[in-house]
C-alpha cells in the first residue's frame, strides 16, 4: 500500500519536519508498512479483552505522615547565595 504524496507532506507538516524528496520516499514506504501492520492487528478479535489504561497494574504508594525533626534554620540558609536572618533573598519579579 503506497501512501499519496500529499498525505506524506501533510504528516510532515503536522510533525514540523522538513523532508527532502528522498526522505519523503523512505518515510512514505516505512509509514505504509506500519499502517499495513496495523491493519493486520485490526483483524484480531479483541472483544473478550478488557480495556486497560496501562499495561501494568499501578497503585500509589503512600506512607504515613510522621512528625520528625526539622532542619535548623542556619543550616537551611547556609548554602543560599543571599539571605537575611530568617529568609532567602530572591530578585524582585513583580514591579
Summarize the confidence of residues 50-60 as an average pLDDT.
Answer: 80
Instruction: Calculate what percentage of the chain has a pLDDT beyond 90.
Output: 45
Residue, of 95 and 30, whose pLDDT is higher: 30
Whether residue 92 lies inside any domain: the answer is no
- 11: domain range? 5-42
Whether residue 87 lies inside any domain: the answer is no
Whether residue 28 lies inside any domain: the answer is yes
CA angle 45, 47, 50 (to 5 degrees): 125
Q: What is the CATH number of the domain that holds 34?
A: 1.10.20.60
Measured between alpha carbons, how far is 7 from 13 in angstroms, rounded to an integer? 10
Whether residue 26 lies inside any domain: the answer is yes
Whether residue 93 lies inside any domain: the answer is no
Per-residue pLDDT, 60 = 83
Q: How many domains does the chain fold into?
A: 1
Structure confidence at residue 49 as a pLDDT band (50, 70, 90):
confident
> What's this model's pTM, rounded to 2 decimal places?
0.48
Whether residue 14 lies inside any domain: the answer is yes
Whether residue 95 lies inside any domain: the answer is no
Amino acid at each position: 500500500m503506497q501512501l499519496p504524496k500529499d498525505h506524506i507532506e501533510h504528516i510532515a507538516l503536522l510533525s514540523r519536519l522538513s523532508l527532502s524528496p528522498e526522505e519523503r520516499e523512505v518515510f512514505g514506504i516505512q509509514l505504509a508498512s506500519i499502517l499495513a501492520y496495523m491493519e493486520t492487528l485490526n483483524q484480531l478479535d479483541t472483544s473478550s479483552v478488557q480495556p486497560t489504561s496501562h499495561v501494568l497494574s499501578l497503585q500509589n504508594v503512600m506512607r504515613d505522615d510522621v512528625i520528625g525533626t526539622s532542619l535548623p534554620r542556619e543550616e537551611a540558609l547556609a548554602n543560599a547565595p543571599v539571605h537575611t536572618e530568617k529568609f532567602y533573598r530572591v530578585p524582585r519579579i513583580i514591579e
